[in-house]
């Protein structure tokens, strides 16, 4: 009875990869590292693997990468305003190290978008003038992060009853249960 909602959640996530303007294209990623305060930021959902791992790109010098190396637990938040659907995903984040895979994805990035991963100074460094950022010619700091979910919480606000479900991964199976919204 709960499977249809898990299917819907996955389908909406998949749609965001191909449908322009889909709100799940951007999500909020929370990490903590060794710190006691969560750090949140928006990232772009780039890919979902066949075994339901979510991939985003970043600069390997960014704080989120430091955090993930310190503590691989990550929370992801998606919100679809038209459907009034919120997905909260908890998972294990890993930095992709397979050089062949990284090369393939890197070659698919448009030259202008590559700028996000080739600043001379690390992201978050202080600068005097935002128009004078220097870029590297040869090397890059492109990095892919893969998140393997272990919990998905689905919440849809609707009348007469809101719908809230929790899906937990047990071995390779997802088990769903309804929750009081
Ligand atoms: C619409 C939007 C999309 C973004 N997409 C990404 C992204 O895919 N990867 C990324 O590293 N940062 C992305 N950012 C920037 C992050 O939100 C964040 O400011 C930056 O990565 C620094 O985060 P950190 O210091 O916590 O690592 C995006 C920001 C916005 C506003």
161 Cα: distance to centroid of ligand 1 (angstroms): 35
Give the atom of ligand 1 at the shortest distance from the alpha carbon of 65.
Answer: 27
Q: Which of 31, 33, 43 to mutate to test the pocket of ligand 1 (most atoms within 8 A of CB)?
A: 43
Over the chain, what HEC string results? CCHHHHHHHHHHHHHCCCCCCCHHHEEEEEECCCCCCCEEEEEECCEECCCCCEEEEEECCCHHHHHHHHCCEEEEEEEECCCCEEEEEEEEEEECCCHHHHHHHHHCCCCCHHHHHCECCCCCCCCCCCCCCCECCCCCCEEEEEEEEEEEEEEECCCCCCEEEEEEEECCEEEEEEECC
Q: What is the pLDDT of residue 132?
A: 87
Nearest to 74 by CA among 146, 165, 169, 154: 146
Q: Would you kindly state where each structural domain of the chain is located, as residue ranges?
A: 3-98+141-179
The CATH code belonging to domain 3-98+141-179 is 2.30.110.10
pLDDT tens, residue order, the chain (181 aa): 999 999 999 999 999 999 999 999 999 999 999 999 999 999 999 999 999 999 999 999 999 999 999 999 999 999 999 999 999 999 999 999 999 999 999 999 999 999 999 999 999 999 999 998 999 999 999 999 999 999 999 999 999 999 999 999 999 999 999 999 9
pTM for this prediction: 0.97
42 Cα: distance to centroid of ligand 1 (angstroms): 5
Give the atom of ligand 1 at the shortest distance from the alpha carbon of 40.
Answer: 26
């Amino acid at each position: 009875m709960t499977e249809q909602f898990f299917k819907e959640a996955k389908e909406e996530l998949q749609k965001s990869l191909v449908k322009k303007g889909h709100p799940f294209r951007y999500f909020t990623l929370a990490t903590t590292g060794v710190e006691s305060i969560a750090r949140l930021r928006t990232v772009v959902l780039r890919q979902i693997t066949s075994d339901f791992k979510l991939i985003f790109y970043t600069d390997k010098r960014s704080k989120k990468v430091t955090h993930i190396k310190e503590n691989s637990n990550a929370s992801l938040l998606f919100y679809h305003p038209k459907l009034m659907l919120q997905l909260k995903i908890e998972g294990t984040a890993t930095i992709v190290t397979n050089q062949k895979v990284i090369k393939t994805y890197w070659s698919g990035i448009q030259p202008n978008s590559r700028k996000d991963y080739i600043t001379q100074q690390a992201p978050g460094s202080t600068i005097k003038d935002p128009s004078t950022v220097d870029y590297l010619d040869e090397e890059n700091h492109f990095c892919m992060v893969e998140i393997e979910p272990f919990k998905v919480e689905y919440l849809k606000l609707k009348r007469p009853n809101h719908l809230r479900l929790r899906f937990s991964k047990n071995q390779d199976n997802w088990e769903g249960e309804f929750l009081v919204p």
